[in-house]
Copies of this chain bind each other. A is one copy, B any other.
Amino acid sequence: MRAVTFQAAGDVRLEERPDPELQAADDAVVRVEATGICGSDLHIYHGRVAIEPGFVIGHEYVGTVVAAGDGVTEVSVGDRVLGTYCTACGACFFCRRGEYHKCDGGRVFGHGAALGSLQGAQAEMVLVPNANLTLRRVPEGMSNDVALFAGDVAGTGYHAICGDAARPEPLEPGASVAVLGLGPVGLCAVQVAKASGASAVIAVDTVEDRLRMAESFGATAVHLTEDDPRARVKELTEGRGVDLSVDAVGHPDALDLACRVARKAGTVSVIGVYAERAEVHMGVVWIKALRWRTGHANVIGHLDRVLAMLSAGVIDPGPLVTHHMSLDEAPEAYAVYDRREALKIVLTP
User: Which residues of A does B touch, CB under 8 Å?
Assistant: 24-26, 70-71, 73-74, 89-94, 96-99, 101-102, 132-133, 158, 161-162, 164-166, 168, 170-176, 192, 195-200, 238, 240, 252, 255, 264-265, 270, 273-283, 285-296, 300-301, 303-309, 311-312, 314-315
Contact = CB atoms under 8 A, between A and B. Distances in A.
Task: Tell me how many chains of this kind the complex includes.
Answer: 4
B286 A295 contact: yes
Contact of A286 (B26, B73, B192, B275): B275
Nearest to A89: B73
6 contacts: A93-B238, A97-B301, A265-B295, A274-B286, A275-B282, A279-B280
Nearest to A92: B74
A173 B264 contact: no
Nearest to A105: B73
Given A197-B196, A279-B278, A282-B278, A295 B305 contact: no
Given A192-B173, A265-B99, A294 B290 contact: yes
Contact of A170 (B25, B171, B264): B171
Contact of A314 (B24, B97, B174, B301): B174
A25 B255 contact: no
Contacts of A192: 173, 197
B277 A314 contact: no
Given A96-B98, A288-B295, 4 more contacts: A94-B264, A99-B265, A173-B314, A275-B282
